[in-house]
Copies of this chain bind each other. A is one copy, B any other.
Amino acid sequence: MTTPNNNERRIFFNDDKCPIRNVVLQIGDKWSALILFALVDGADRFSSLKKRVVGISQRMLTQTLRDLEREGYVSRTVYPEVPIRVEYALTELGRKLVKPLYQLVSWADDHHDEIKQNRKAYDENVD
> A interface vs B, CB < 8 Å?
1, 4, 9-14, 16, 19-20, 22-25, 27-30, 33-34, 37-38, 41, 44, 51-56, 69-72, 93, 96-97, 99-109, 111-112, 114-116, 118-119, 122-123
Please determine whether A103 and B104 come into contact, CB atoms closer than 8 angstroms.
yes
Residues of B within 8 A of A12 (CB): 34, 37, 54
Closest to A117 in B: B72
Q: In the complex the two chains form, what is the Cα distance from A1 to B119 in whole Å? A: 22
Closest to A2 in B: B37
Residues of B within 8 A of A1 (CB): 102, 105-106, 109
Q: In the complex the two chains form, what is the Cα distance from A11 to B56 in whole Å? A: 12
